[in-house]
Amino acid sequence: MAGPLLQTKFHVPRRRRALVSRPRLSDRLTRGTESALTLVSAPAGFGKTTLLTEWLADWLAAAPAAERSAAWLSLDERDNDPALFWRYLVAALDSVAPGVGASALALLQSTQPAAEAVLATLLNDLGAVPNDVVLVLDDFHVIEAGEVQDGMAFLLEHLPPQIRLVIAGRADPALPLARLRGRGELVEVRAADLRFSPDEAAAYLNGVMNLALTPQDVEALEGRTEGWIAALQLAALSIQGRDDVAGFIAGFAGDDRYIVDYLAQEVLQRQPGSVRDFLLQTSILGRLNGPLCDAVTGQGGGRATLEALDRGNLFLVPLDDQRQWYRYHHLFADVLQAHLMEEQPDRIRELHRRASDWYEQRGERSEAVHHALAGEDFERAADLVEPTIPELRRNRQEATLRSWLEALPDELFRVRPVLTVGLVSSLMVRGDFDGVEARLRQAEKWLDPTADRTGMAVVDEDAFRTLPTAIAMYRAGTALVRGDVAGTMTHARRALDLADEDDHLARGAPAALLGLAYWTSGDLDESSRLYVDAMVSLTRAGYHSDVLGGSIALADMRLAQGRLREAMGIFERGLQRAERSQPVLRGAADMHVGLSHVLRERGDLDAARMHLQASSELGEHVGLPQNRYRWRVAMARIREAGGDLVGALDLLDEAERVYVGDFSPDVRPVPALRARVLVAQGRWAEALDWAQERGLSVDDQLSYLREFEHVTLARALSARYTAERDEWSIREAAALLERLRSAAEDGGRTGSLLDVLVVQSLASQAQGDLPAALISLRRALTLAEPEGYVRIFVDEGAPMASLLRVVAKEGDPGSYVRRLLAAFDGTKVRKPVSPEVIDPLSPREIDVLRLLGTDLDGPDIARRLFVSLNTVRTHTKNIYAKLGVNNRRSAVRRAEDLGLMVRPR
């Protein structure tokens, strides 16, 4: 964290003089420490922050300091940047539990960390905290980012029992409140609870503010304000020194907004001119301290003025114990800003300029940019933003960068090439490629040494020098997205030619893009060579998570080349690299999925399942975006191997729903995998319908991108011949397969060639041409044996088994053929498991489910998980409902069928 200003975001506000004792609310908040979430939700002016500050002080004082602590995070609109939000949240917790979250902060510096990845490491640290901790998130209503809200839901679901969350805001958060309420894990304090009762209003007006009002005056004032604390406080300030109290009370009426405006104006009019000017001019500040106020107002004595306002209860909220930082109450700030806009509109820009200068001089670049933008000083904002782009990218604050850039007027980018390319990067990260080329040309025109550079503005000279490399790289990326392989190669080569030898990042990214282009074209030898070079460069640049992502692509290339052993080694080394890092690098879960795929192909289904379970235990948050669908595809293949074709289809349907693409070519589309399972079920007609929808034909010009789909079409046509003896189908399938065989051979794609040869052998067998079937099969066996392929043969079932027996009878079968035949004998055709789990189990339900498979009883399970017995019973009831069972033994058996069950050690 940088600077004292940011520290005020996660400092518990200083306890003030109590407005009035409110034991009914304090008791409710104390009960909330036994629940996962306490929600304080009410409109502005209801005393949410004050209530929590007072309660926390009492709660902390009621036990030794070693047993209790409280962390506080004050939020604003800028905290919608996920990277910024989680950094602040971790810092808040670290302020009361030193060392907690160190790994999470490190992860925030890695490549595109998922919120759950950060939180998983944070939760591990929190689980070891020995004392009770309350974390307060104040003004949570400003958080609208879905990624942050999803992360908070994940946090709530997994918080250890000694950590309790309190959320305060003007609206209910987008969290699973109904579920928490149903579990008894939610305590709520709302506007109706926060309103002052008549007795509390009297205690405040006469006891705190010393107004000596009559019971009739108190009743009238409480009735007019309906116990609304902000209005009562403003009214009390306005009443001080008045003679005609009853007349004043009768003089205002209307809705809440009107009352606040009216009373705030009354308060302002009663202030000395110097104080009134101070209030108006400093209202532009989200946080205030003496030196900052002096800089903004151009006057001295800012600290003394703030202290006087604080003593006068003039809607100033202290933010620290040193009496240095404050903020205005939000309602009061709104009124002040409205008056400033009405009375001194010409001064607003200059006030923001002064604030921006003050923050820049103290290294608070984010606040400096904020005030430059608020004052519409866009030239200054651009000067501030441009040199921060590399740092924001390193810190993964893409949302902040994008919000800043999008706030700048378009004409400004026309003369700022570095800023323009920064905008291009921000757009591409979001997947928005429209207009990217026009932006690149806009920046590129300034690179011509003969061009008139009058009017060009450059702050970051180093970035300007490397713009040609960056522009070429971004063009390569956009070309690849468009499917322009030749264009990708041209631009990526240019980027490599322009990049300095020691600029590893600038060399690694275009090398990877060039490798992807060759992969898309089917040249796997060149694509893998380039990808190896790219991974070396990215490793040297320190982008280790990118290296893991690249490992998946490289292993996929090796699989297409039929090199199972090399693919296995890539995944194993990637897993070792991921697990050596602390925290575990994002991508570790993907390494387990990759290993599962290879192990399944080599016939080790148990080990394949174990790796998928290990991936699940790490969580999707420790995987790349593609992990969700890759995991489901891998599990579907295991289900298929076990004879559960219905379960396999269900998983493939899920995989298609959660599919997320990237720059890698989709050479094994999920719908094509689904069509193959349909063929295995005898539903070849539906598979042919799929092929027609995809526009596939036996006469198509072949390409590597559609190779897997065309082999799938040949399978469906062969299946139709087997079922209906349709001669046209088998002739067309045979001709297509021969063309596919030739293309795979020429491209060195042994993995594809094996696929084609297996289908060719079965098609010849179906036609009664045993010699041709054996020729194709023997060649496939020769290619497959060194790499240990098993399932590519065994998955074909009885027809393939009969062919292998013929091979064994005609000569020495060798250990490989015997192993394959043994695999057929060991393959158990399971009864399909149906229906699939409709509502997925939560992580905590999975924890309970695993313990249901042990000898532990309910109380023992509750103690093991540090929860109440009622909580265990609730989870067990949910598990039974989701699995469609009604007892413990059936739940365990059903979970084993679904691959959910791993017995605890």
CA distance 732 to 755: 17
When pLDDT is averaged across residues 327-337 and rounded to a whole number, the result is 81
Report residue 377: phi and psi, to 5°: -95, 75
Largest Cα separation within the chain, whole Å, is 117
Region at 69 (left for phi over 0; alpha for psi -120 to 50; beta for the rest): beta
Q: 163: which strand partners?
A: 133
Mean pLDDT over all residues of the chain? 85
What is the enclosing helix (H) or strand (E) of 135?
strand 132-138
The sign of the CA dihedral 17, 19, 24, 29 is negative
CA distance 892 to 546: 39
Length of the chain: 905
CA distance 688 to 723: 14
Q: How far is CA 570 from CA 391, 546, 549, in A?
A: 32, 14, 11
Residue 548 or residue 264, greater confidence:
548
Q: Is the pLDDT of residue 862 over 80?
A: no
From 1.20.1250.20, 1.25.40.10, 3.40.50.1220, 2.60.40.10, which CATH number describes the 579-589+617-636+652-829 domain?
A: 1.25.40.10
Architecture of domain 836-897: Orthogonal Bundle (1.10)
Q: Is residue 420 classed as helix, strand or coil in its secondary structure?
A: helix
pLDDT bin (cut points 50, 70, 90) of residue 412 is very high
pLDDT bin (cut points 50, 70, 90) of residue 7 is low
Q: Is residue 167 classed as helix, strand or coil in its secondary structure?
A: strand
DSSP annotation of 706 reads G
When pLDDT is averaged across residues 298-312 and rounded to a whole number, the result is 86
CA distance 655 to 500: 41
CA distance 241 to 263: 15
The 3-state secondary structure of 579-648, one letter per residue: HHCCCCCCCHHHHHHHHHHHHHHCCCHHHHHHHHHHHHHHCHHHCCCCHHHHHHHHHHHHHHHCCCHHHH
When pLDDT is averaged across residues 856-865 and rounded to a whole number, the result is 76
Q: Is the pLDDT of residue 636 over 60?
A: yes
The 3-state secondary structure of 843-862, one letter per residue: HHHHHHHHHHCCCCCHHHHH
Amino acid at 601: E
Q: What integer pLDDT is reported at residue 902 of this predicted model?
A: 47
Which residues, 6+ apart, have CB-to-CB distance to 69 below 8 Å?
60, 96, 97, 131, 132, 133, 134
CA distance 11 to 95: 8
**Sheet of strand 186-190, all strands in order from the earlier edge strand to the far edge:** 68-74, 132-138, 163-169, 37-41, 186-190
Prediction pTM value: 0.67
| The token pair that represents 71 in the structure block | 């962390």
Q: What integer pLDDT is reported at residue 215 of this predicted model?
A: 85
CA distance 77 to 404: 13
Domain boundaries defined on the chain: 7-193, 198-269, 466-542, 579-589+617-636+652-829, 836-897
pLDDT bin (cut points 50, 70, 90) of residue 779 is very high
The region of weakest confidence among 254-268, 382-396, 589-603 is: 254-268
- Give the Cβ contact number of residue 267 at 10 Å: 21
Q: What integer pLDDT is reported at residue 604 of this predicted model?
A: 93
When pLDDT is averaged across residues 294-299 and rounded to a whole number, the result is 93
Each residue's pLDDT tens digit, 638-697: 999 988 998 899 999 999 988 877 788 889 999 999 999 999 999 999 999 999 999 999
**Burial of 247 from C-beta contacts in 10 A (0-12 / 13-18 / 19+):** exposed
Q: How far is CA 28 from CA 12, 17, 45, 134, 190, in A?
A: 20, 21, 20, 15, 11
Residue with tokens 């002016």: 45
Q: How far is CA 565 from CA 635, 639, 669, 784, 796, in A?
A: 21, 23, 23, 11, 23
What is the enclosing helix (H) or strand (E) of 105?
helix 102-108
Q: What integer pLDDT is reported at residue 831 of this predicted model?
A: 35
Q: What integer pLDDT is reported at residue 113 of this predicted model?
A: 55
pLDDT bin (cut points 50, 70, 90) of residue 409 is very high
Which residues, 6+ apart, have CB-to-CB distance to 552 below 8 Å?
574, 587, 590, 594, 624, 626
Q: Which of 756, 844, 825, 831 is nearest to 792 (CA)?
A: 756
Q: Is residue 678 classed as helix, strand or coil in its secondary structure?
A: helix
Each residue's pLDDT tens digit, 152-171: 888 888 888 889 999 998 88
Instruction: Give counts: helices (H), strands (E), the chain.
Output: 50, 7
**Burial of 685 from C-beta contacts in 10 A (0-12 / 13-18 / 19+):** middle
Which residues, 6+ apart, have CB-to-CB distance to 384 below 8 Å?
356, 360, 365, 368, 369, 372
Superfamily of domain 466-542: Tetratricopeptide repeat domain (1.25.40.10)
Q: Is the pLDDT of residue 109 over 90?
A: no
Each residue's pLDDT tens digit, 61-82: 888 888 899 999 989 888 888 8
Amino acid at 312: G
Q: What integer pLDDT is reported at residue 796 of this predicted model?
A: 94
CA distance 197 to 356: 44
Q: Is the pLDDT of residue 13 over 50?
A: yes
End-to-end CA distance of the chain: 40
Each residue's pLDDT tens digit, 716-759: 999 999 988 989 999 999 999 999 999 999 999 999 999 999 99
When pLDDT is averaged across residues 593-603 and rounded to a whole number, the result is 95
CA distance 698 to 169: 62
pLDDT bin (cut points 50, 70, 90) of residue 58 is confident
**DSSP symbols for 276-327:** HHHHHHHTT-SSB-HHHHHHHHS-S-HHHHHHHHHHTT-SEEE-STTS--EE
- Give the Cβ contact number of residue 108 at 10 Å: 21
pLDDT bin (cut points 50, 70, 90) of residue 633 is very high
Cα 321 versus chain centre, distance: 35
The answer to whether the beta carbons of residues 487 and 477 sit under 8 Å apart is: no
Q: What integer pLDDT is reported at residue 263 of this predicted model?
A: 61
Q: What is the CATH number of domain 7-193?
A: 3.40.50.300
CA distance 333 to 201: 24
When pLDDT is averaged across residues 110-117 and rounded to a whole number, the result is 60
The answer to whether the beta carbons of residues 651 and 639 sit under 8 Å apart is: yes
Q: How far is CA 56 from CA 11, 69, 95, 615, 715, in A?
A: 12, 9, 16, 40, 69
Q: What integer pLDDT is reported at residue 2 of this predicted model?
A: 43
Q: What integer pLDDT is reported at residue 115 of this predicted model?
A: 66
| The token pair that represents 306 in the structure block | 């703030």
| The token pair that represents 371 in the structure block | 């005030």
Amino acid at 854: T
Looking at mean pLDDT, say which of 38-47, 80-89, 557-566, 818-827 comes out highest: 557-566
DSSP annotation of 705 reads G
Q: Is the pLDDT of residue 551 over 90?
A: no
In this chain, the answer to whether the domains covering 466-542 and 579-589+617-636+652-829 adopt an identical fold is: yes
Q: What integer pLDDT is reported at residue 905 of this predicted model?
A: 39
CA distance 383 to 527: 41
The answer to whether the beta carbons of residues 46 and 195 sit under 8 Å apart is: yes
When pLDDT is averaged across residues 183-188 and rounded to a whole number, the result is 87
**Burial of 199 from C-beta contacts in 10 A (0-12 / 13-18 / 19+):** exposed
Strands 326-328 and 316-318, sheet pairing: antiparallel
pLDDT bin (cut points 50, 70, 90) of residue 826 is low
**Burial of 486 from C-beta contacts in 10 A (0-12 / 13-18 / 19+):** exposed
Q: Is the pLDDT of residue 332 over 50?
A: yes
Looking at mean pLDDT, say which of 73-82, 426-435, 471-480 comes out highest: 471-480
CA distance 170 to 239: 28
